[in-house]
Amino acid sequence: MKRTWQPNKRKTAKTHGFFARKEADTGVVNRRRSKGRKVLTH
């Protein structure tokens, strides 16, 4: 029997990764960049 969660690193990164956050219009990354943060993500 297959389990419910089939991990896929690439798919996860595509939807939740740095570049996905960067592309989002209301993204946290863009807000932090405009604010002048030294470190955008950890």
Averaged pLDDT for residues 9-27: 85
Residue 26, pLDDT > 80, answer: no
Residue 27, pLDDT > 80, answer: no
Token pair of 8, please?
């896929």
pLDDT of residue 2: 93
Q: Please list the alpha-helical segments (H only) found in 1-42.
A: 9-16, 18-23, 28-35
Contact between residue 29 and residue 18 where contact means Cβ atoms under 8 Å apart: yes
CB contact set of 9 (below 8 Å; sequence gap of 6+): none
Kindly report the average pLDDT of the chain as a whole number: 86
Place of tokens 């002048």: 36
Residue 5, pLDDT > 90, answer: yes
pLDDT of residue 35: 87
Contact between residue 20 and residue 14 where contact means Cβ atoms under 8 Å apart: yes
